């Protein structure tokens, strides 16, 4: 359990297999996001049909509603949401630092306002670890202090230092909890904003704290220019150990390709479902807005290369009708396609890596997706 094998490499891009208590995950992998214990508009059967192997759920959201005690009473997170494949929970750090409203940080933890009832609550490294233990995902994340993408060096250092101190407390609590059975692994989150020297130092200090079965890179894709994120990944890559690397909150198809090219293995993002609900679909030729009038009488599928229920069953004209008519089925069908698109994209990258041809594959993919070979 918690074993990761790199099976093929093509430059920094890697194809691997991650063994977890609830199953095996082939990487690169895209994780659909089940914020409230459900991937919006999709059922577990839909997710299986889309080929999802690893799903993310948000500790913050489940903590405030229905509460981890309710999830525990209903058999812990896997059974609660009827997902028998691997799960990952984030720590709540990102949410308490990004949601609006009152927030007070000290070294003990964060006092914040629930977005539901405005009530004051506190998360500490220990509490975040305990809640995730109760939820029972295969992978839990360490509680971290996230700063905005443009944070200056002293602010970013302060948050990084706190995140490192909290990591030790998370690890201690996690070790205590898992003394009896080894069902969950804790992954650290590397912070440091857009400051390479902080990221490099943070990475060194995380690795000095012990061995880990995986490592997340947080605090990117939070408002900084994409070139900055790509550059950061490129410079960090040679220093990263062989364990799985999870780039949090990323992303769009072009981001997945660029990040895999720079050695990243795992991704999560709400983009496929959020964009899907807005009528925006990923296709090999770039995004399509299904509401556009050009699709009104179009009998073709959304994406002729796709094997999902949406693309094998319905015309663009019908999908447009569903959106123009405000029908719920449209929200599901585009969400399903977009999730399937990213999972297939990860699969295509894996195949290209295995035939040692990631570079040419990526160039051809970009030529078609971006209508240019340069982005």
Binding site for a second copy (CB under 8 A): 36-38, 40-45, 65-66, 70, 73-75, 80-82, 296-297, 299, 309, 313-315, 317-318, 320-322, 324-325, 327-329, 331-333
- What CA–CA distance (Å, rounded) separates 316 from 319? 5
State yes or no: cis peptide before 162, omega within 30 of 0. no
Cβ proximity to a second copy: between 83 and 361 the closer is 83
CB of 278 to a second copy, least distance (A): 14
CA 318 to chain centre: 31
Cβ proximity to a second copy: between 152 and 297 the closer is 297
User: Does residue 189 come out as left (phi exceeding 0), alpha (psi in the -120 to 50 range) or beta?
Assistant: beta
Cβ proximity to a second copy: between 114 and 315 the closer is 315
Q: Is 343 helix (H, G, I), strand (E, B) or coil?
A: helix
Asked if 82 and 55 touch (Cβ cutoff 8 Å), the reply is: no
CB of 66 to a second copy, least distance (A): 5
Q: Residues with catalytic annotation?
A: 90, 268
CB of 93 to a second copy, least distance (A): 21
Asked if 37 and 80 touch (Cβ cutoff 8 Å), the reply is: yes
Cβ proximity to a second copy: between 80 and 94 the closer is 80
Cβ proximity to a second copy: between 226 and 321 the closer is 321
Q: Is 14 helix (H, G, I), strand (E, B) or coil?
A: strand
CB of 306 to a second copy, least distance (A): 16
Side-chain-side CA neighbours of 219 within 13 Å: the count stands at 30
CB of 326 to a second copy, least distance (A): 9
- What CA–CA distance (Å, rounded) separates 335 from 325? 17
Dmax of the chain from CA atoms? 61
Residues 6 or more apart whose CB falls under 8 angstroms from that of 76 comprise 134, 135, 136
């Amino acid at each position: 359990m918690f074993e990761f094998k790199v099976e093929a490499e093509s430059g920094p891009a890697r194809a691997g297999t991650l063994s977890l208590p609830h199953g095996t995950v082939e990487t690169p992998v895209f994780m659909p996001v089940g914020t409230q214990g459900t991937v919006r508009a999709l059922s577990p059967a839909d997710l299986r049909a889309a080929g999802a192997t690893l799903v993310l759920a948000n500790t913050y959201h489940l903590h405030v509603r229905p509460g981890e005690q309710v999830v525990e009473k209903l058999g812990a997170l896997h059974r609660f949401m009827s997902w028998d494949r691997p799960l990952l929970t984030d720590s709540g750090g990102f949410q308490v630092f990004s949601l609006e409203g009152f927030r007070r940080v000290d070294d003990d933890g964060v006092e914040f306002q629930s977005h539901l009832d405005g009530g004051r609550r506190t998360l500490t490294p220990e509490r975040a670890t305990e809640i995730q233990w109760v939820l029972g995902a295969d992978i839990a994340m360490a509680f971290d202090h996230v700063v905005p993408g443009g944070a200056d060096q002293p602010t970013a250092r302060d948050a990084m230092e706190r995140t490192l101190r909290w990591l030790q407390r998370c690890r201690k609590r996690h070790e205590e909890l898992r003394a009896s059975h080894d069902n969950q692994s804790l992954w650290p989150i590397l912070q440091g904003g857009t400051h390479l020297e902080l990221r490099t130092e943070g990475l060194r200090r995380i690795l000095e704290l012990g061995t880990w079965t995986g490592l997340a890179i947080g605090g990117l894709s939070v408002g900084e220019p994409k070139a900055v994120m790509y550059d950061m990944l490129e410079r960090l890559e040679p220093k990263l150990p062989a364990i799985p690397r999870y780039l949090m909150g990323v992303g769009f198809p072009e981001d997945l390709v660029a990040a895999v090219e720079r050695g990243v293995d795992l991704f999560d993002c709400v983009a496929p479902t959020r964009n899907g609900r807005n009528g925006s679909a990923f296709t090999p030729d770039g995004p399509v807005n299904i509401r556009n009038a050009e699709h009104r009488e179009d009998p073709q599928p959304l994406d002729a290369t796709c094997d999902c229920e949406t693309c094998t069953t319905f015309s663009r004209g019908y999908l447009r009708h569903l959106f123009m008519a405000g029908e719920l089925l449209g929200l599901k069908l585009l969400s399903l396609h977009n999730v399937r698109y990213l999972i297939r994209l990860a699969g295509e990258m894996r195949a290209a890596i295995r035939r040692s041809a990631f570079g040419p594959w990526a160039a051809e993919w970009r030529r078609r997706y971006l209508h240019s070979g340069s982005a």
